[in-house]
Structure 1
Amino acid sequence: MTVPIAIIGAGIAGLSAARKLHDAGLTVHLFDKSRGSGGRMSSKRSDAGSLDLGAQYFTARNPRFVSEVNRWHSEGWASEWKPHLYNNHTDGQLTPSPDEQTRWVGNPRMSAITRGLLGHLTASFMCRITELIRGEKHWHLQDAEGNDHGPFSHVIVATPAPQATALLATAPKLASAAAGVKMDPTWAVVLAFETALDTVIDGCFVQDSPLDWVARNSSKPGRDSKPDTWVLHATSAWSKEHIDMPKEAVIEHLHGAFAELMHITVPAPIFTLAHRWLYARPAGAHEWGVLADSDLGLYACGDWCLSGRVEGAWLSGQEAARRVIERLQ
């Protein structure tokens, strides 16, 4: 009987690794504490439609990732987003952004990509793995309910670095490297308006404000145009400073900053929502690709092992899978 490989985390990194291993004829089992796949690429269904609360879009530069994104596009999971993009300057001026790189989004929601990658792979959701136990030959996983999962031949940890640190305890060098990675939080707020706001802006990079980014979610391919939904991301600094602020207060504060930014009368929203990403993005870039203890059969991957971008997460997952395959040959 083939002993499967465990992957903890069903975001882009974990699913990238899972797909590569599966395509190599290996058996994988994914675990995730959330209700479904996606991680920071997930979408939230709401009374105002489907909302991208985390990653707003992604770009592709590495040739391997470009090829993968083209595959997603051909599968109908991803589409090019061509927003009217603006920069907001410290003096309050709004100017069109000269940035012409291709921006991709999941269609009809960001999570379409991770759902597509997941396919029929074996996965256990709403299952938070708290401990990895190494036996003589194999790994066993323990979840928050005290249940045992296993045996597994290898384990790939594909979670944000602070969550990975505890799981890597059996490999102190890996745990130490992960513990050194700082990840910044982000408050995300959704505002939905009955009537479309009178602006040409679809997305804006913001300076000198509690806000870092705003986007007209309804301008993305496949999204409902009504109501007019906007996603606001606060800066890491503001989010850190107000990390424990009640959601209602966060919405009020960022709604005010949004109204100030847009230079138009912003009516009262018909729907609001706030979501706190504790580990939104790594504070710095690393070039590890993957953290690995091949003798133990333990690996860690994620955007924090590379560029901090969706592309970095996917490439890191590929590298983790490659190391496992290499080990098994």
Structure 2
Amino acid sequence: MDTPIAIIGSGMAGLSAAHALVAAGRRVHLFDKSRGSGGRMSSKRSEVGALDLGAQYFTARDPQFIAALAQWQAAGWVETWNPALYRSHAGVLSHSPDDQARYVSVPRMSALTRHLLGELPATFSCRITEVFRGEQHWHLADADGRIHGPFSAVIVAAPAPQAASLLSAAPELASRAASAAMDPVWAVALAFEEALPTPLEGCFVKDSPLDWIARNARKPGRESSHDSWVLHASSDWTRQHLDLPAEAVIATLQTAFAEVLGARLPEAFFSIAHRWLYARPAQDHAWGTLADPAQGLYACGDWCLSGRVEGAWLSGLAAAQQLLAQG
């Protein structure tokens, strides 16, 4: 029986790579430090329903990704999201002319990754700290001192700074990963007993601590008896307030939210904050994947391409294709 391939990370990049490899008859095993799949597509279950704190939606441009999207839609995993979309600039709120098609997983963003994970072998709540090679195969060490392996190859599907630390066996790959800066984002979720009197369901924001507003409860497939919202701070504001207490972050972004709407908000009966240290790449790259085929070591993620969900999926596919090309 062939030696399996280790994939570190079960977000869209890791799952895309896994599916392409399994379709080609290869064995894989996924590892993730979180309790479940999703990465930055993770959703939080709460008393007000599932909250999409990370990726808010995705778009599709590449033919390969469009074909995969069609399959997901046919399976009922994804629906089109047509929000009442606005933009706020210099305190002026207006309709957004952006009419590109947007898609969301149902009933929460992480649901798509759960479907893609399916029955694939995976170990969760396992933070891999080292990737090292023995005489013939790769092995992984985790934060609890356990060793996993052997593996014929390793795909690192983690944010760039984390990937860099796991690629020490390939210094050139590690250096390139370390050069891919990633921006942080504070995310806040609020819920109100009654619906706020605004038609707004999505909003791009400028000149504010905020960057994005979404009416989470109005996304397709969401079930909630309350009016839940997700607010994303801008990366600049987050960087300046990286260590601000969660309560202060919530208060500041709620005030900015009220300013965008131009109205005083009722008291939110529910609020949480989550800090994404590696929310999105600071710039696009055209790498596709980073690869050391001679060693059997690869890295992929949205930071290798566009920074979008589509970019993560395409990067994972590219890593699998390069690996398979080695026979």
TM-score by length of 1: 0.99
2:139 paired with 1:154: no
2:209 paired with 1:210: yes
Shift of 1:265: 2.4
Aligned to 1:194: 193
Aligned to 2:112: 113
Task: Give the 3-state SS of the residue equivalent to 1:40 in structure 2.
Answer: helix
2:232 paired with 1:247: no
After superposition, the C-alpha distances for 1:67-120 in whole angstroms (9 at most, x for unaligned) are 111111111111000100001111x11111111110000001001110010000
Amino acid at match of 2:11: G
Matches within 5 A, 1:97-108: 97-108=96-107
Task: Give the 3-state SS of the residue equivalent to 2:30 in structure 1.
Answer: strand
Aligned to 1:264: 263
After superposition, the C-alpha distances for 1:131-171 in whole angstroms (9 at most, x for unaligned) are 01111211000000010000000000000000001100010
After superposition, the C-alpha distances for 1:263-310 in whole angstroms (9 at most, x for unaligned) are 122100010000000000000110000000000000000000000110
Amino acid at match of 1:107: V
Amino acid at match of 2:143: A
Distance 1:75 1:34 in 2: 26
**4-13 vs 225-234, greater mean Cα deviation:** 225-234
Task: Give the 3-state SS of the residue equivalent to 1:86 in structure 2.
Answer: strand
Distance 1:60 1:104 in 2: 8
Instruction: Check whether the contact 1:198–1:264 (CA below 8 A) recurs between aligned residues.
Output: no
After superposition, the C-alpha distances for 1:155-207 in whole angstroms (9 at most, x for unaligned) are 00000000001100010000000011110000000000000000000000001
Distance 1:93 1:145 in 2: 52
Distance 1:168 1:175 in 2: 5
Distance 2:179 2:75 in 1: 38
Distance 2:131 2:88 in 1: 47
Aligned to 1:5: 5
Amino acid at match of 1:34: S
Amino acid at match of 1:211: L
Matches within 5 A, 1:228-247: 228-247=227-246
Aligned to 2:122: 123
Aligned to 1:39: 39
Aligned to 2:74: 74
Instruction: Check whether the contact 2:51–2:108 (CA below 8 A) recurs between aligned residues.
Output: yes
2:149 paired with 1:183: no
Amino acid at match of 1:257: A
Distance 1:15 1:289 in 2: 15
Task: Give the 3-state SS of the residue equivalent to 2:187 in structure 1.
Answer: strand
Identity %: 64
Instruction: Check whether the contact 2:81–2:102 (CA below 8 A) recurs between aligned residues.
Output: yes
Aligned to 1:64: 64
After superposition, the C-alpha distances for 1:205-241 in whole angstroms (9 at most, x for unaligned) are 0010000000000110011242100000000000000
TM-score by length of 2: 0.99
Distance 2:263 2:24 in 1: 55
Aligned to 1:275: 274
Instruction: Check whether the contact 2:49–2:224 (CA below 8 A) recurs between aligned residues.
Output: no
Amino acid at match of 1:129: I
2:304 paired with 1:297: no
Task: Give the 3-state SS of the residue equivalent to 2:176 in structure 1.
Answer: helix
Task: Give the 3-state SS of the residue equivalent to 1:44 in structure 2.
Answer: coil
Detail structure 1 runs of 4+ shifted over 6 Å in the superposition.
none
Aligned to 1:95: 94
Amino acid at match of 1:32: D
How well do the aligned residues superpose, as a CA RMSD in angstroms?
0.6
Amino acid at match of 1:96: H
Shift of 1:314: 0.3
- Count of aligned positions: 327
Instruction: Check whether the contact 2:48–2:224 (CA below 8 A) recurs between aligned residues.
Output: no
Distance 1:89 1:161 in 2: 32
Shift of 1:47: 1.0
Task: Give the 3-state SS of the residue equivalent to 2:67 in structure 1.
Answer: helix
Instruction: Check whether the contact 2:214–2:231 (CA below 8 A) recurs between aligned residues.
Output: yes
